Amino acid sequence: MSVFPRRTPLYDLHVALGAKMVDFAGWEMPVQYPMGIMGEHAQCRTKAALFDVSHMAQVELRGAGAAEQLETLVPASIVPLKEGKARYTFFTNDEGGILDDLIVSNAGDHLFLVVNASMRDQDIPHMRTRLKGIEVVEITDRALLAVQGPKAVEVVGALCPAARDLTFMETIVADILGASCRVSRLGYTGEDGYEISIPEARAEEIAHAFLAHEDCAPAGLGARDSLRLEAGLCLYGNDIGPTTTPAQAQLGWAIQKRRREEGGFPGADRILRELAEGPARKLVGIRPEGRAPARAGVEIQDAGGNTLGTITSGGFGPTVQGPVAMGYVTADHAAPGTKVTLIVRGKPLPAEVSALPFVKQNYKR
């Protein structure tokens, strides 16, 4: 019988570190530690932060033709993906909307996927129903840790020298304190860093070992959200969803040339048409004037009071020292520098369309 909210293997560690725990996608997760969201955000931007992302679903696809089969559900090019390489993609529906976004890695004899926590109960049956002859295995006995920031290579490399040689979107199985771990150089903060799949029984020990490094401190969901927002990274359920298409979300870069030419994925007609002709609305960065943040759901208007769209993510950007947001506007108002008005608690707030990201991404290319 399931217990809700569920707890990750690091729950006791979070409590011992003084974390404020909240229910997130059915999991009891740390939103912040005594350092506070601002401090944790700065820790990740300047040194290294440890995030527990064990609530994310880890899935293996096993069987001949797994890559070919997966291409019937996603618009990314999976078949040519070399062993040890990872790729960002998304499941699409027949209308061209995004059902979830995920990371796919070629793990040699299988594909390794990480999908969003809130969507596991949709994604796994979706794959089991549609991937013919492929075994879809959810991995439930491993934790997932993210070490993110410019010092992440020192923190992880001290315990796992092989991690130093990885570049962005590369993955290996490597030894950490005698445990066999999958180490992938990627993340969700815009900074260099790693996501590491660890046997559940060893997770707390390895987390303690990372935190023993002078440049590493724990960070929670609050800082993870402000970091990804500054980096212009979409959050499923806010910035992307079943009614937003890849072209609208400015995710055309994730659809490789072969897939654009061949199609063969759900919603391909609409997706490829919008990539060629441009969508009617686009996801943009928005910088509100002043200090008041604009949260999800805020209406975006033009100078004449006409509705252009809605804010999908918003908050204070600690690195840029001001409010930042993302939202959808009509394509003719999507150019950086365009003046818009936000209706915040019934009051008009001047703002400007901004290029994304707000903070330059620092991946190890």
Per-residue pLDDT at 364 exceeds 80: yes
H or E segment at 308?
Answer: strand 307-317
CATH number at residue 260: 3.30.1360.120
- Is 315 in contact with 346 (CB distance < 8 Å)? no
- Same structural domain, 287 and 200: no
Amino acid at 198: I
CA 3, CA 247: separation in Å to the nearest integer? 39
- Same structural domain, 44 and 173: yes
Query: In total, how many domains does the chain have?
Result: 2
Which pLDDT tens digit goes with each residue over 68-119? 999 999 999 999 999 999 999 999 999 999 999 999 999 999 999 999 999 9
CA 283, CA 325: separation in Å to the nearest integer? 10
Which pLDDT tens digit goes with each residue over 163-217? 999 999 999 999 999 999 999 999 999 999 999 999 999 999 999 999 999 999 9
337 inside domain: yes
Is the pLDDT higher at 156 or at 290? 156
- Same structural domain, 263 and 301: no
- Same structural domain, 229 and 286: no
- Same structural domain, 202 and 332: no
210 inside domain: yes
- Same structural domain, 66 and 177: yes
Which pLDDT tens digit goes with each residue over 124-144? 999 999 999 999 999 999 999
- Same structural domain, 314 and 185: no
pLDDT of residue 1: 39
Question: For the chain, what is the mean pLDDT?
Answer: 97
- Same structural domain, 40 and 26: yes
Find the domain containing 327 and state its range. Answer: 280-359
Which pLDDT tens digit goes with each residue over 9-48? 999 999 999 999 999 999 999 999 999 999 999 999 999 9
364 inside domain: no
203 inside domain: yes
Residue 208 CB neighbours (<10 A): 14
- Same structural domain, 270 and 286: no
Give the phi and the psi of residue 157 in degrees, each rounded to 5: -60, -25
CATH number at residue 293: 2.40.30.110
Q: Select from 226, 257, 277 the last residue of a domain.
A: 277
- Same structural domain, 5 and 153: yes
Which pLDDT tens digit goes with each residue over 247-266? 999 999 999 999 999 999 99
Which pLDDT tens digit goes with each residue over 215-258? 999 999 999 999 999 999 999 999 999 999 999 999 999 999 99
- Same structural domain, 287 and 164: no
365 inside domain: no
- Same structural domain, 332 and 267: no
Instruction: With CA atoms as reference, report the closest residue to 324 among 346, 306, 342.
Output: 342
Q: What string of H, E and C letters represents the secondary structure of 129-168?
A: HHCCCCEEEEECCEEEEEEECCCHHHHHHHHCHHHHHCCC
Its pTM stands at: 0.96
Compute the average pLDDT of residues 145-168.
Answer: 98
